Amino acid sequence: MINLNSYQDDAFDFYKSVVSSKQNSPQDPHYLDRIDSLESVVKDQYNAHTIHFQGDTLELLSNHAMSVASMNDLRKLYAYQNSVLQDLRVKLTTTNTGRMVICQSCTLNNANSFDHYISKGEFPEFAVNPINLIPCCSECNSLKSSQWRGIHGRNILNHYLDILPQVQYLYVDLGIGNKAIEVKFYLDNSNGVNNLLFERINNHYTRLELFRRFQENSESVISSLKDDIENGLVDSNFDLVRTQVLRRIDREKATKGVNYWQSVLKHTLINDEDFIIDYI
């Protein structure tokens, strides 16, 4: 799990490009006229969003009073397959080293949708605000739903705003016996992450059911690690193989984050004597 780079160009210009890509339909020949009539309201809201985004005070945003019909019109601007939004997806998932298409909310699935960090149900004016659209997988999108703030402010990670700590907070307990391995992921703040951020991290993992999802995907990681160790032992001793595995894990953490769940699991396994004795 790593941070993402947010959209750097003018967000309202992006909004206008989405509007320009739309057409009236025979069933609704005045749709674009109604959208045009909302431009000044949307522009003011975008300005407010930019100010609060830059100040990391999104939870203080207030939505603009407008009719239900106007809110529905603004929501209709969003369509994931829209060419302008697809170009945005490519831009946001392209890095200096290539495409990064894995959802960073879970690091399990491909990012095949956009999460509206601030829900378009609550703030329809931000339905196509590029700073409010975060590439994610459909599973995370569904689990997060409209959740993003509570009584203490934002309570779900924003991968543009929340700088992820470079210390470990994700851990795993192993239960090894009878040729079976049980894994249980959990969070621990013994490395002193800011309390507010740690609470947000905890809410994020809980809301998106990451502990369960990591556990359900652990078997393939365990099997792959066992194969790597056994193949290495053909030509070398275990201490050297362990050193090589740990180096690969360190490289993986450097690109995928200190708390990448697979790295945490493999690091725990390779240093567990019961795992080594029973399975290698």
- Convert the pLDDT of each residue in 24-72 to its tens digit: 989 999 999 999 999 999 999 999 999 999 999 999 998 888 899 999 9
Q: How far apart are CA 70 and CA 35, in angstroms?
A: 8
Do 86 and 208 fall within a single domain?
Answer: no
Site of tokens 């203490």:
152
Residue 162, in any domain of the structure: no
Residue 5, in any domain of the structure: no
Residue 160, in any domain of the structure: no
**Could you tell me what percent of the chain has a pLDDT over 70?**
96
Do 225 and 94 fall within a single domain?
Answer: no
Q: How far apart are CA 21 and CA 38, in angstroms?
A: 17
Q: How far apart are CA 136 and CA 162, in angstroms?
A: 16
Question: Could you tell me if 80 and 114 are in contact, meaning their C-beta atoms sit under 8 angstroms apart?
Answer: yes
Do 82 and 182 fall within a single domain?
Answer: no
Q: Which of 125, 154, 183 is the last residue of a domain?
A: 154
Lowest mean pLDDT among 145-159, 160-174, 193-207: 145-159
Question: Could you tell me if 107 and 1 are in contact, meaning their C-beta atoms sit under 8 angstroms apart?
Answer: yes
Closest-CA residue to 117 (of 129, 109, 102): 129
Do 59 and 109 fall within a single domain?
Answer: yes
Do 191 and 105 fall within a single domain?
Answer: no
Contacts of 74 (CB under 8 A, 6+ apart): 35, 38, 42, 120, 124, 125, 127
Do 38 and 129 fall within a single domain?
Answer: yes
Structurally, the chain folds into a number of domains equal to 2
Residue 53, in any domain of the structure: yes
Residue 189, in any domain of the structure: yes
Residue 75, in any domain of the structure: yes
Residue 40, amino acid? S
Residue 164, in any domain of the structure: no
Residue 1, in any domain of the structure: no
pLDDT at 279 over 70: no
Site of tokens 């595995």:
245
- Average pLDDT value for residue range 205-217: 96
Q: To the nearest whole number, what is the mean pLDDT of the chain?
A: 91
Question: Residue 139: which domain range?
Answer: 11-154
Closest-CA residue to 103 (of 67, 134, 63): 134
Site of tokens 């019909």:
69
Site of tokens 């013994």:
190
Do 53 and 82 fall within a single domain?
Answer: yes
Q: Which of 95, 127, 154 is the last residue of a domain?
A: 154
Q: What is the pLDDT of residue 82?
A: 94
Do 63 and 181 fall within a single domain?
Answer: no
Do 18 and 101 fall within a single domain?
Answer: yes
Do 92 and 63 fall within a single domain?
Answer: yes
Q: Residue 25 has what DSSP assignment?
A: B
Q: Which of 105, 123, 154 is the last residue of a domain?
A: 154
Do 71 and 184 fall within a single domain?
Answer: no
- Average pLDDT value for residue range 236-248: 86
Q: What is the pLDDT of residue 209?
A: 96
Q: What is the pLDDT of residue 97?
A: 66
Do 143 and 222 fall within a single domain?
Answer: no
